[in-house]
Structure 1
Amino acid sequence: MIEVAIRAALPEDLDRITEIEKICFPPSEAASRESFRERIAAFPESFLVAEADGILIGFINGCATNNSFIYDDLFHSTKHHIPQGKNLTVFGLDVIPEYRRQGIASQLMQNFIQIARNTGRGSVILTCKDRLVHYYESFGYMNNGVSQSTHGGSQWFDMTLVL
C-alpha cells in the first residue's frame, strides 16, 4: 500500500485542490477556486488533504452546521458555517483516479470522522449519488433516502453517520 500523509489544507494548496476537484467532479458540481479559498480560511480544521511523495492526490472538506441534512446553500457560502454546530458536513471526498482503490479515500474519511468525534459533533452528514451509497454505508452511514439537494442538477442521497 502507498504511503500517504493526511494533513490540514493550507492556502498554498489552493491551485492543486481546485485542479483535483475539476478531475473528480463535472463542471456543474465542482466547487470553484474562490469557494475553496473561502473554505480553507473559514474551516481549516475540517479541510484535510492527502499527499503521496509530496504530491497532493486528494482531499475532504466540509463545514459545521446544526442542520441534519445538507442544503444547497451550504456549498456556495461559508457564511452558513456554524463553528460550534452539532454536525460536520462532507462537501466532497476527492481522490485523483490513478490513486483510487488504494484506501486513500478511506483514510481521509476516517481522519475526518475522528475530527468530528474530537470536536464533539453528534454526526457527520453528506450527500452522495446512488452508486456511492453502499461505499458510505461501509463507514456506518445510514441512507436517509433521496435528498432535497439538487446541487449540479443531480439526484443525491442524504447519508448520516451518528457518532
Structure 2
Amino acid sequence: MIDVQAVGPDDWKAWRELRLAALEEAAFAFGSQLADWVDATEERWRERLSVAGAYQVIASIDGTPVGLAGGFPADEESNAELVSMWVAPAGRGHGVGNALMTAIEDWARSTGATVLDLSVVPGNDPAHNLYLRNGFEDTDEQGDLMADGVRRELVMRKQL
C-alpha cells in the first residue's frame, strides 16, 4: 500500500535521505547536484522544508520511503509548481509517481492555483511519459539552465 505524508522541518532526516538518494541515482534529472547538498547542515535541510506556502511529501510502500515531491507557489498568483519529484527504483512501477503527483495537485488546488507547472530534463523519458499520462502538456517554454551549463529543462503545464 502506498502512503503519502506531508513533511515539515522536523522530518528533515527522512527528506535528506531520500533527496540525497535522488541526487545520486538521477543526477541528470535535477538542477541541484549531490555536491550541493551532501554536506548540508541540519539548519539548511530544515529551511528547505520551511519555505512559506510550500508543501512537501514523502511516499512510502509498506513503511519504506520510496519517493518525494514538493509543491511551491509560483510567481504568478494562480500558478503552482511541482518540484524535486523522484521515485526510488524499488518504488517504480507501483503507482508511487501517480500518488505523489495527486498529492501535489490536490495541494495546488487547495491554494487556489488553477495551473500546475513542472520542469523535466530532455531525455528523461520515463518522467516525461508519467507527466503526460497525468494530463501535463509540453509548452514551448524553456526552464532553468541545467548544471552542465548547456541544456535547459522543458516546462510542462496542467490546467487544474
Q: Tell me if structure 1 keeps the 8 A contact 2:61–2:91.
A: no
1:41 alignment partner, SS class = coil
TM-score by length of 1: 0.75
Give the C-alpha shift of residue 98 in structure 1.
Answer: 1.1
Which residue of the partner structure matches residue 69 of structure 2? 60
Query: What does residue 23 of structure 1 align with?
Result: 21
Q: How far is the alpha carbon of 1:152 from its aligned partner?
A: 2.1
Tell me the alpha carbon deviations over residues 31-74 of structure 1, each in whole angstroms, 9 at most, x when there is no partner: 6356542232124752111123333221110310234xxxxxxx
Partner of 1:89: 81
Distance 1:118 1:124 in 2: 12
Paired with 2:2 and 2:60, the residues of 1 have a C-alpha distance of 6
The structure whose residues are more often strand, as a share, is 2
> Which of 23, 43, 46 is equivalent to 2:55?
46
Aligned to 2:134: 139
TM-score (norm 2): 0.76
CA contact (8 A) 1:9 1:44 kept: no
Paired positions, count: 144
Change (3 A) 1:98 1:145: same
* TM-aligned CA distance change 1:148 to 1:93, over 3 Å: closer
Tell me the distance in 2 between the aligned counterparts of 1:101 and 1:53.
Answer: 15
Provide the rounded CA distance (Å) in 1 between the counterparts of 2:118 and 2:147.
15
After superposition, the Cα gap between the structure-2 partners of 1:111 and 1:28, relative to the gap in structure 1 and judged at 3 Å, is closer
CA gap 1:100/1:141 in 2 versus in 1, 3 angstroms: same
Runs of 5+ consecutive residues of structure 1 not aligned to the other structure: 68-84
Query: How many percent identity over aligned positions?
Result: 20
Q: Does the aligned pair in 2 maintain the 1:65–1:89 contact within 8 Å?
A: yes
Distance 1:28 1:48 in 2: 19
Please list every run of 5 or more consecutive structure 2 residues that lacks an aligned counterpart in the other structure.
Answer: none
**Closer, same or farther: CA 144–28 of 1 in aligned 2, 3 Å:** closer
The change in CA–CA distance for 1:18 and 1:45 in structure 2 (over 3 A counts) is: same
RMSD: 2.4
